[in-house]
Amino acid sequence: MDRALLTMRSRTDLAACAGACLLLFLVGACERVVSIAAPSETPRLVVEARIESPYSGAPDTPRIRLTTTQPYFDAGPAAPATGAVVLLRDGVSPPMSLTAATGGEYVGAPMTVVPGRLYELDITWDGDHFVAVDTAADVAPIDSVYFGTTRESSADGRATLAFRDAPGRSDYLLWDQWVNGVRLGGPDASLRRRPIASDNGFDGLVVLGFSPFDGVAVPIGAAVRVRQKGISRAIFDFHAALNEQLARDGWPFSEPMSSVRGNVRNRTTPSRRPSGYFSVGRYDERTRVRTR
């Protein structure tokens, strides 16, 4: 055999052997378990407090939820904040004490929200004293709910509502929707973002054909409940900031990720800042079954 050819083949075999060894090395390297030690901190309080009652003036039961922050890689449910002392004040009646229930929920006696009144939430937990205040907001009642069509298909109904906005009043609105008793919301970013609006562009006007959860198809035979709630300007700004964070798409000029602060303050240890919000307002809702 020609010596040059033999030498070339030997070099080729050697290169193939080296390549195989490199591949085995890379495969072995991919199997290594890498542990990342995320910094830990003392759990902080998370407040989810929506005090609300119907536009009709009927009383409703105040319920708030207190949980704690979790480690970064913990995917389990939030741990309830047990042992808290919770008081609700309206500046007129004696303070209302909320009683602990399950899952971090605290419940009070039925009450009626008075628009324009200042309410205060007082929480003592884990040696710290937390306070939040909010001015109760009014709401325009819903005139009707019907089922329109989505842009994707004329056969898929979406819950659509009509209402007349109150003139001469700065209103801020938030919407919730349930389908067969299940509240819309989930891992999809479009459902995590809260539907909110200011009446700056429709003050005193009749609003027609508005779908808070546009594009969400409602199956035939499903029962839909739509709630329209009045919120204060401070709570509107809070939800708007949260929505901005959820709208980030990785673009270099997107709004930088930051911690959105609510209206709950730690009076004992200010550096141990709580998360969440305290909102008070009236709501109106309608329930309808899609029949076709």
11-47 pLDDT per residue, tens: 445 444 445 554 444 445 555 665 555 556 788 999 9
> Whose CA is closest to 173, among 62, 15, 255, 52?
52
Which tokens hold the place of 178? 């349930």
Query: Shortest CA distance to 125 belongs to which of 270, 275, 271, 268?
Result: 268
Least confident stretch, 29-43, 123-137, 146-160:
29-43
* 64, 121 contact by CB (below 8 A): yes
| Mean pLDDT comparison of 13-27, 156-170, 277-291, highest-scoring range | 277-291
Six token digits for residue 59: 């009383």
Contact call for residues 162 and 142 (beta carbons, < 8 A): yes
What the block records as the tokens of 172 is 């801020």
* pLDDT, mean of residues 160-175: 96
Q: What is the mean pLDDT of residues 134-159?
A: 83
Band of residue 265 on the pLDDT scale cut at 50, 70, 90: very high
On whether the pTM is more than 0.85, the answer is no
Kindly tell me if the per-residue pLDDT of 136 is higher than 60.
Answer: yes
**What token pair was written down for 250?**
């990785």
How high is the mean pLDDT of the chain? 84
pLDDT at 52 over 90: yes
Asked if the model's pLDDT at residue 243 lies above 80, the reply is yes
Residue 249, pLDDT score:
62
